[in-house]
Chain A
Amino acid sequence: MKRRTQLAGLLALPMFWLVGIYIFSLIMLLATAFWTTDPFTSKVKPGFTLRNFEQLIVNPAYLSTAVRTLLIALAVTALCMLISVPLGIFMAKIAKPWLRGLLAVAITLPLWAGYLVKILAMRVTFTDEGFFNWALGPFGITGPSFSVTTVILTLTYLWLPYMAIPVYTAIRQLPANLFDASADLGAGAWRTIRTIVLPLIKPAIIAGSIFTFSLSLGDYIAAKFVGGSTQMIGSIIASNINLNPPVAAAFAVVPIAFVVVYLLSVQRTGALERM
């Protein structure tokens, strides 16, 4: 009996949080997606309709925004991988301890600064009279201005630590003699990275990609401040949140669906069990 009381004491707050706040609010969101809105008063009326989901497919602007958001999230994830793997190899296997420490700080630094601060930093860099054009303009290079490209760069800037840290840690944990053994058996550096390093750090890359992918899908502030006219799923949710909550809710289901599909496809490769 005493054990039960102790257990209840231990779990009361976490369970209230998980079930009462976290799961319940998600279920409410899902439920709202099937409700309707009074077109005159904008009042939400409980009921059951699939019209909100129909909108996502029928409305070309909605559909293209969903596709664009998916492509942006994939591009951010790919870019984070392309940066993290070579960086992780350099930090874990080549860099001297002082340089490794310096790079670790450089990677985690963006985590310490506020989210809006970083977006504004990118805005200052890429605005027409900004640093990028000022520095490279004399060479005839003009920046991407505020566009999809800048959104991808900004999101990469925001989420890189979530990929770079697990990838670096995984490479650090690879036994040094696997590198020696691969070279000993005739493999050059590139071969070793492809056939030994990448397969062994796949779980870390996938762990990181879940963050970069899902965080990118959910973001809209970057699109708002550095995207010019770029719209993402989040932009549409934000503009409907007061006018038409059921449409916003239906659209909110889309990123969740993307992440679920992503997790399922990753699971098929067997990488999740080793995480």
Chain B
Amino acid sequence: MSSPIAATMASTTAAGDVSLTGVTKTFGDMTAVRDLDLNVPQGEFLSMLGPSGSGKTTVLRMIAGFEDTTSGSIRIGGEDLTRVPPHQRPVNTVFQDYALFPHLTIAENVAYGLRVRGQSKSDRSDAVSSAIAQVRLEHVSSRLPHQLSGGQRQRIALARALILRPRVLLLDEPLGALDKQLREEMQIELKSIQREVGITFIFVTHDQEEALTLSDRVAVFNNGRIEQIGTAREVYEYPQTEFVARFLGLSNIIPARTVEQLTGQARVVSVRPERVRLLTDADATSGNDIVLAGTVAEIVYTGPTTRVLVDTADGLRLITETQNSHHPAADVEVRRGDRVRVAWTDDHSATLP
């Protein structure tokens, strides 16, 4: 566990603490969020991860105030904001498709919040130029939003929200519309900006890799509930439900029947492909290893890794993934149809309910 989080959690309520208690949201007879409790300490980067319709965006919109809660309460810095309208909440939002005002220049967009607060043009001009400089876009400040690229608009949306020094920044899939390379650049930039300003970030995404890379903690949503919340390592390595195991990367789910045959204990386990070893005849196994025999069904080269899919006698398909650290020209030693053994160390797997 990273220590700064533990430290703030122990202290009394800080201004940027977000706390949701028993929050439920229904739309007609559809329940989007059910009885949700969530505590985000000041300064944390929390990702809400889940498939579409899992309730993560609704939770974000309730924190922003765009949606009422059906029941439950939302507090920021100990203050009950459940019935406070969005324009009076100490939070700002970066929207999925940026929501820049199309008729205002970039500088006017960034200045909008200060203008609403009644700051005069001369008072706000310094703040506006430094906010635009923070996202390195000084040269576009007199342009209109449609003249900017997606990545530039994204950064302006960030500057427009951060200029108001919110206690909490809400980000609704802000990188969803960008291509892969730009998205990775922006992830690094987001992370460093968050460290710099030190405010709470609540980040909605459906991209598990993005959630794992960016966050102090990840909350995995499914059907309006949090399935699991923890550090990236915790949710990835020790998924508590099959949903979490499957949603975060590839996973081998071994049914209880098979595990019972191998270990004597009837439990479902999840084991990550990179933790499953492909054994040659010479490879030794230790007493902690669980070993299965099977036939190579498929070999998939992904660049950095090679995946070998192995079918076992009782109809299970296991995925193994190995780093391609051998000589680039050399092939993997197995071929389709080969009889092989696969193994993993028992405590490298997670037991599912």
Q: Most chain-B Cβ atoms within 10 A of its Cβ — which of A181, A188, A195, A200?
A: A181
The yes or no answer to A177 lying at the interface (CB within 8 A) is: yes
Q: Which segment of B96-104, B126-134, B207-215 sits at the interface?
A: B96-104
Per-residue B-contact encoding for A186-208, CB less than 8 Å = 1, 0 else: 11100100011001100000000
Decide yes or no whether B153 CB sits under 8 A from chain A.
Answer: no
How far is B85's CA from A182's CA once the two chains are assembled, in angstroms? 12
Measured CA separation A177–B97 after assembly (Å): 8
B-contacting residues, A178-237, CB 8 Å: 178, 180-188, 191, 195-196, 199-200
Decide if B116 touches A180 in the complex (CB within 8 Å): no
Q: Is A175 part of the binding interface, using a Cβ–Cβ cutoff of 8 Å?
A: yes
**Beta-carbon contact of A177 and B95 below 8 Å:** yes
| A198 to chain B: closest residue by CB | B103
Given A180-B66, A200-B102; A187-B116 close (CB under 8 Å): yes
Interface: B225 (CB within 8 A):
no
B117: chain A residues within 8 A (beta carbon) = 186
Distance between B173 CB and nearest chain A CB, rounded to angstroms: 12
Contact with B along A148-192 (1 / 0, CB 8 A): 000000000000000000000000000101101111111110010
- Which of the segments B35-43, B86-94, B182-190 contacts the partner chain? B86-94
Instruction: Assess whether B95 is in contact with A187, with CB atoms less than 8 Å apart.
Output: no
Counting chain B residues whose Cβ lies within 8 A of the other chain, the interface size class is 20 to 34
Any chain A CB within 8 A of the CB of B151? no
Q: Is B64 an interface residue (CB 8 A)?
A: yes
Given contacts A185-B92, A186-B164, contact A196 B101 (CB under 8 A): yes
Q: Is the CB of B93 within 8 A of A180?
A: yes
Output the nearest chain A residue to B97 by Cβ-Cβ distance. A177
CA distance A211 to B286 in the complex (A): 87
B77 within 8 Å of A (CB atoms): no
Q: Which residues of B contact A180 (CB under 8 A)?
A: 64, 66, 86, 93, 95, 99
- State the main secondary structure of chain A at its contact with B: helix
Pick the contact of A191: B66, B95, B96, B116 (CB < 8 A). B116
Q: B95, A185: Cβ atoms under 8 Å?
A: no
Complex interface residues of chain B between 49 and 107 (CB less than 8 A to chain A): 64-66, 85-88, 91-93, 95-97, 99-103
Q: A177-B97, A180-B93 are in contact. Are A185 and B103 (CB under 8 A)?
A: no
Q: How distant is the Cα of A180 from the Cα of B99 in the complex, in angstroms?
A: 9
Alpha-carbon separation in the docked complex, A178 to B99 (Å)? 5
The number of A-B residue pairs with CB atoms under 8 Å apart is 58
Q: CA of A186 to CA of B116 in the docked complex: distance in angstroms?
A: 6
How many residues on the A side are at the interface (Cβ–Cβ under 8 A)?
17
Indicate whether B272 reaches chain A with its CB closer than 8 angstroms.
Answer: no
| Chain B residues, CB < 8 A from A196 | 101
Given the interface pairs A177-B95, A180-B86, A180-B99, the reply to whether A185 lies near B160 with Cβ below 8 Å is yes
Whether B198 sits at the interface, judged by CB under 8 Å, is no
Q: Cβ of B101: which chain A residues have Cβ within 8 Å of it?
A: 178, 181-182, 196
Q: How far is the CB of A205 from chain B (nearest CB, A)?
A: 14
How far in angstroms is the closest Cβ of chain B from A3? Answer: 38
Q: How far is the CB of B92 from chain A (nearest CB, A)?
A: 6
Residue B113, interface by CB 8 Å:
yes
**Which residues of B lie under 8 Å from residue A185 when comparing CB positions?**
87, 92, 112-113, 116, 160-161, 164
Closest to B157 in A: A181
CA distance in complex: A108, B95 (Å):
36
Q: Do B99 and A186 touch (CB < 8 A)?
A: no
Choice from B66, B102, B103, B161 contacting A183 with Cβ under 8 Å: B66
Q: List residues of chain B with CB within 8 A of the CB of A199.
A: 103
Q: How near does chain A come to B124, taking the closest CB pair, in angstroms?
A: 13
For A200, list chain B residues within 8 Å (CB): 102-103
Return the chain A residue nearest B64 by Cβ.
A184
CA distance A189 to B91 in the complex (A): 18
What is the bound-complex CA distance between A200 and B104, given in angstroms?
10
Residues of A within 8 A of B92 (CB): 184-185
A191 to B65, CA, bound (A): 18
Given contacts A186-B87, A187-B87, A188-B87, contact A181 B99 (CB under 8 A): yes
In the assembled complex, the Cα of A183 lies from the Cα of B85 at a distance in Å of: 8
Task: A2 to B93: give the CA distance in the assembly, Å.
Answer: 61
Chain A nearest Cβ from B284, distance in angstroms = 60
Once bound together, how far apart are the Cα atoms of A196 and B112, in whole Å?
10
Residues of B within 8 A of A181 (CB): 93, 95, 99-101
Closest chain-A Cβ to B150's Cβ sits at a distance in Å of: 15
Closest Cβ neighbor of A175 among chain B residues:
B99
Which residues of chain A are within 8 angstroms of B161 by Cβ–Cβ distance? 184-185
* Residue on B nearest A188 in the bound complex, by CB: B87
Contact of B99 among A177, A187, A188, A195 (CB under 8 A): A177
Docked CA distance A92–B97 (Å): 21
Could you say which residues of chain A place their CB within 8 Å of the CB of B99? 175, 177-178, 180-181
Closest chain B CB from A203 CB (angstroms): 11
CA of A181 to CA of B145, assembled, Å? 14
The 12 sampled A-B contact pairs (Cβ below 8 Å) are: A177-B95, A178-B99, A180-B95, A181-B100, A181-B101, A182-B101, A183-B66, A183-B85, A185-B92, A186-B88, A186-B113, A196-B101
Supplied contacts A184-B161, A186-B88, 13 more A-B pairs, CB within 8 Å = A177-B95, A180-B64, A180-B99, A181-B101, A182-B112, A183-B66, A183-B86, A183-B87, A184-B64, A184-B86, A185-B116, A188-B87, A195-B112
Query: When A and B form their complex, which 7 residue pairs have the shortest distance between CB atoms, in order from nearest?
Result: A185-B113, A181-B99, A177-B99, A183-B86, A186-B116, A183-B87, A187-B116
